[in-house]
Amino acid sequence: MRATFRFSARTPEAVEKYIKNLGFKPGDGDDWVRAVMMKTTLDGGIHWGTTRLSERYGEKRIQFYRLTDPDYCGELYYTPEELKMVFATVNRLGWPMSIHVTGDAGTEAVLDAIAAVAASDPSIKQRRFNLLHTYFPTPTIARRAKELGVGVDTQGYLYYRDAEAMADIYGKPWAERFIGLGEWARAGVPVAVNSDHMIGFDPDHAMNSFNPALMLWIAVARQTDRGNVYGAHQRLSRLDALRAVTLWAAWLSFDEDKLGSLEPGKLADLVVIDRDYLTCAEDDIRKIKVLRTIVGGKTVFQR
């Protein structure tokens, strides 16, 4: 487990106090449990109509979310100066940071703040700050993230379940960008796919699903739960989808030398599956079952 510590501090003094009271340094712990990064929240989410967009919500979104302001673009919980000061302080204290941000304008605000800190302290590019969620990438956003050493932590299952609503309420061009894994991969940005918070216990139908095989299939097939494809160019190859749940995910937590691939010197953590992921029929990817789980060279589960 890799621990992230969430705060809402807005000043350097408040950030310093929070981190001091934690009593941890980045990297404290062991291979089982380790402190990795700080976390804060910049905007809201698409389910609540608080995502910070680069355009006004417009009549259809205003009606859907029952909003009233015709100029509404979503929320930002930090000013640009606050965000810059928070990032600079966290960086100075040696911590990486994860930022909850869903909209494209929110993502640009995060990248602007990182760039502003990097102008005087380039070490922030080595901290591997990551964009958590960041639903609507563009080539420009992805290029900037790569230049700033930023990674992405997002949820493929959200595309599977919500892209149809995106096409209806936001418009097809937004659905084609939604959870744009291909955009990140083409820019060379490490992107991890995961389940986020979970409501329900079914591995395939909980919100969000926590079945890695389903997550792989969504990344490769780019199909919604109704069988439609929005943004076919956002598909990942099977190898890149595999990297998104293994090696790229390990990079986000500074574990690429220990986890994420089968190599001498790395931890013997692996699973044995019931079919060849690289050659099986595409629709069979989501049917993959784990036969055995090995942790530290010891079998901890066998079907």
**CATH number for 252:** 3.20.20.140
Q: Is residue 276 part of a domain?
A: no
Q: Is residue 278 part of a domain?
A: no
Q: How far is CA 223 from the centre of its chain?
A: 19
- Determine the 3-state secondary structure of 13 from DSSP: helix
Q: Is residue 294 part of a domain?
A: no
Q: Is residue 301 part of a domain?
A: no
Q: What is the pTM of this model?
A: 0.95
- What does the pLDDT look like over 89-102, one tens digit per residue? 999 999 999 999 99
Instruction: Band the pLDDT of 241: cuts 50, 70, 90.
Output: very high
- Determine the 3-state secondary structure of 143 from DSSP: helix
Phi, psi of 291 (to 5 degrees): -90, -35
Total structural domains within the chain: 1
Identify residue 109 by its one-letter amino acid code.
Answer: A
Q: Is 288 within 8 Å of 218 (Cβ atoms)?
A: no
For 163, the token pair is 């892209």
More confidently predicted of 148 and 201: 148
Whole-angstrom Cα distance, residue 210 to residue 199?
A: 10
Percent of the chain's residues with pLDDT above 90: 93
Q: Is residue 265 part of a domain?
A: no
Q: Is residue 300 part of a domain?
A: no
Please provide the DSSP assignment of 18-32 as one string: HHHHHT--TT-B-SS
- Please give the residue range of the domain that contains residue 122: 2-260
Q: What's the Rg (C-alpha) of the chain?
A: 20
Whole-angstrom Cα distance, residue 211 to residue 200?
A: 13
Residue 49: which of 40, 37, 58, 39 has the closest Cα? 58
- What does the pLDDT look like over 43-58, one tens digit per residue? 999 999 999 999 999 9
Q: Is residue 274 part of a domain?
A: no
Q: Is residue 285 part of a domain?
A: no
* CB burial of residue 111 (10 Å; 0-12, 13-18, 19+): buried
Whether the per-residue pLDDT at 265 is higher than 80: the answer is: yes
